[in-house]
Amino acid sequence: MVSTTQTAAATHPEVKLPVLEREKLILNGRSYHWITERICGVLENRQPFIWWLLFIPSALIALIGVGGGLFHLVSTGVGIWGNTNRVMWGWPIVNFVFWIGIGHAGTLISAILFLTRQNWRTSINRAAEAMTIFAVMCAGIFPAFHVGRVWFAWFLAPVPNANAIWQNFKSPLLWDVFAVSTYFTVSLIFWFLGMVPDLATIRDRCKPGLRKILYGIFSLGWRGGNRQWSHYEMAYLLLAALSTPLVLSVHSVVSFDFATSVVPGWHTTIFPPYFVAGAIFGGFAMVLTIMIPARFIYGLQDLITMKHIDNMAKIILLTGTMVGYAYLMELFVAFYSGAIYEMDAFKFRIAGPYWWAYAAMMSCNVLSPQLFWFKACRENLWVVMAVAMCVNVGMWFERFVIIVTTLARMWLPGDWKTFSPTGQDQLLFVGTIGMFLMLFMLFLKFLPCINIAEVKWTLPQSDPHHDDKERHPDAGTVTVPAYQKELV
Amino acid sequence: MTTTRKRVYGYLAEFSNASTLYKAAEQVRDAGYRKWDCYSPYPIHGLDAAMGIKRSILPWFVFFGGVAGCATAFALAYTTQVVIYPTVVQAKPANLFTIPAFFPVMFELTILFSGFTVLFGLLGLIQLPRLNHPLFASRQFHRATDDAFFIAIEARDPRFSPEKTRELLAGIGGDNIELVEEDDR
């Protein structure tokens, strides 16, 4: 049977349709070797002065804040924190939720954007995953020491103990132990497996010596044969598919810590999606905060292009608006429920003694990302950086508002307290910021900060059928990429 | 007196880009070789079919790993909450109907065990880690992780012959053809 369908080429042979080109992910037609040189150069060359300028203070802050702060805490007791009866979660759990949320953007970039075939993720996923690992390490400090006697922190794990008491599996706090530790472990596996081919690249560039031996051990003897790549790609896909529900579950479980309690202001079903959106929102802001300076310091502009920054700004706008919706919906539900305690909880948040925290949260998280509706703002790195810093601050205040303002006004007026952190509280938090920065600096110095193999994979010449396309009759009819000019 | 004997590992040939490697792989596959591999700095789309490699069986391992994780979590929760140490907190029962409260931990351990199965299953399938490999003796193989594309045909392949295999590799566009040898110990 003869097909009656006629193609445009057959019916209009004189019209030459332009071949639409995709916007390039890697600029200036860089070669494989250039990519290897540039990314490995970050860790093979001497670090620039600014690296030391950032590393030494952050290491000192980490030493004093985390090392000294925890030593003082353990040797004296948790009384040196500002946690009081009623506001017993206080500052440490604010910081825990803040840090664990930061990590989520890393998993979103590495897993969810992988499953949705967003190839632009390849330039930023490695650094974002590193950020996840370091943020979860910072987060873990707070609940571990918040238990009071940290040498009993192993009571969190369901192992037999002398009291013959078992953990309560009906409690979200135990779910949290499993969720966060699983999240850290699986993120670490994902990060490490993703790095194996790149570690092999560094190994093959090293001169014989200790460095080559160490990179050789950590690259596991990777050879880059297709019989390895075939299984490796499957493993990567599986880890992405496992991490996607995992990242959604982790912050949902964190939100259950609040939502399953019968406390006005916490007992809402909107919490899990609201927390997950907020976590991704805050995490992307942190990715921008660390990647924009790193891009300049190491000259990675051809790898992390304005398109990447533009995409991340759009995600911040989207998730920021979702968070704004959640804030307003919380207020509406409190009003619509007619429950006086619920309404009072929100009145207290907005107009009580912590009004400034609520105002900071609203302006930083909901208003500041609205700038990203404008292309000019997404293209101006100073504006992007300023908004990212606002979001970092705003997301911390969000957790402060949720935890402190709620616990400060519970059911019994006799319990009402106002909370203020002590110097020790603040020292430890600043210490974790230093620790995060210090770990990230060490990451830049010793590990490949961009996924070398995956970036090479996104180049047009990496497609084995690239040559066939070059010989296609329509190839090359448009020299200026179509996205740069209107269709003729 | 010590003598260093060399054992032939096989031929290593370089190809100029992904397209030529892809087409060469089809030729080597059709020539009937079994013990050979293509080496590239990144995974090449569709090369599995060109080499005649089957889909990875890793998902099956991971499926059973996940089931084991889920079962472990349920056993842990049920044994401790219902059998050994039943507690009634917040008026929630301690019996089989407590199971919805066990779901989060069952989910997390499913993911955790699956994650470990991916890691160790992968290492088993690709036979890593190993500290050395005969190919690392090659003077050009270090470029396989940078910007070069190679095919290596091993001497233990029954169709391997010092002359014919070399001719095949040269005929399908291989450059810098090298006989890779390892120390025989």
> Which two structure tokens, joined as six digits, stand for A246?
């995992």
Q: What is the pLDDT of residue A18?
A: 67
Determine which of A31, A167, A169 to mutate to test the interface with B (most B C-beta atoms within 10 Å): A169
Domain shared by B72 and B121, yes or no: yes
- Residue A85 pLDDT grade (very low, low, confident, very high; cuts 50, 70, 90): confident
With beta carbons under 8 A apart, name residues in chain B contacting A165.
85
Instruction: Give the angle subtended at the CA of B143 by the CAs of A48 and A31, to the nearest 5°.
Output: 65
CATH number, domain of A62, equals 1.20.1630.10
Question: Measured between CA atoms, how close is A241 to chain B, in angstroms?
Answer: 10
Asked which of A141-155, A320-334, B77-91, B165-179 is least confident by mean pLDDT, the reply is B77-91
Let me know if residue A171 belongs to a domain: yes
Let me know if residue A12 belongs to a domain: no
Rg of chain A on CA atoms, in Å: 25
> Which two structure tokens, joined as six digits, stand for A459?
């180049």
Do B157 and B34 contact (CB within 8 A), yes or no?
yes
Please tell me which of the candidates B42, B105, B132 has its beta carbon nearest to residue A178.
B105
Let me know if residue A475 belongs to a domain: no
Asked if B104 and A197 come within 8 Å (Cβ–Cβ), the reply is: no
Asked which of B48-52, B57-61, B92-96 is least confident by mean pLDDT, the reply is B92-96
Asked if A223 and B42 come within 8 Å (Cβ–Cβ), the reply is: no
Asked if B126 and A238 come within 8 Å (Cβ–Cβ), the reply is: no
Question: pLDDT by residue (tens digit) across A202-216?
Answer: 999 999 999 999 999
Q: Rounded to an integer, what distance in angstroms lies between the CA atom of residue A474 and that of residue A456?
A: 26
Split into its structural domains, chain B has a count of 2
Let me know if residue B63 belongs to a domain: yes
Residue that terminates a domain, selected from B125, B140, B168: B125
Domain shared by B14 and B105, yes or no: no
Domain shared by B175 and B144, yes or no: yes
Task: Decide if pLDDT at A2 tops 60.
Answer: no
Q: Which structural domain, as residue segments, surrounds residue B43?
A: 6-53+128-183
Determine which of B112, B120, B123, B136 to mutate to test the interface with A (most A C-beta atoms within 10 Å): B112
Q: Which structural domain, as residue segments, surrounds residue A262?
A: 20-156+166-458
Q: What is the pLDDT of residue A488?
A: 40
Please tell me which of the candidates B45, B62, B145 has its beta carbon nearest to residue A200.
B145
- CB-based contact (8 Å) between A228 and chain B? yes
Asked if A246 and B46 come within 8 Å (Cβ–Cβ), the reply is: no
Please tell me which of the candidates A193, A231, A452 has its beta carbon nearest to residue B125.
A231
Question: Measured between CA atoms, how close is A206 to chain B, in angstroms?
Answer: 10
Question: pLDDT by residue (tens digit) across A299-316?
Answer: 899 899 999 999 999 999
Task: Decide if pLDDT at A472 tops 70.
Answer: no
Question: Measured between CA atoms, how close is A38 to chain B, in angstroms?
Answer: 12
Q: Rounded to an integer, what distance in angstroms lies between the CA atom of residue A451 and that of residue A463?
A: 18
Do A301 and A27 contact (CB within 8 A), yes or no?
yes
Q: What is the mean pLDDT of residues A120-140?
A: 94
> Which two structure tokens, joined as six digits, stand for A251?
């912050």
- CB-based contact (8 Å) between A185 and chain B? yes
Let me know if residue A472 belongs to a domain: no
Domain shared by B65 and B118, yes or no: yes
Instruction: Write out residues 247-276 of A within 8 Å (CB-CB) of B.
Output: 249, 253, 256
* Averaged confidence pLDDT in chain B: 92
With beta carbons under 8 A apart, name residues in chain B contacting A182.
108-109, 111-112, 115
Let me know if residue B1 belongs to a domain: no
Q: What is the ipTM of this complex?
A: 0.94
Split into its structural domains, chain A has a count of 1
Let me know if residue A48 belongs to a domain: yes
Question: pLDDT by residue (tens digit) across A315-327?
Answer: 999 999 999 999 9
Do A300 and A294 contact (CB within 8 A), yes or no?
yes
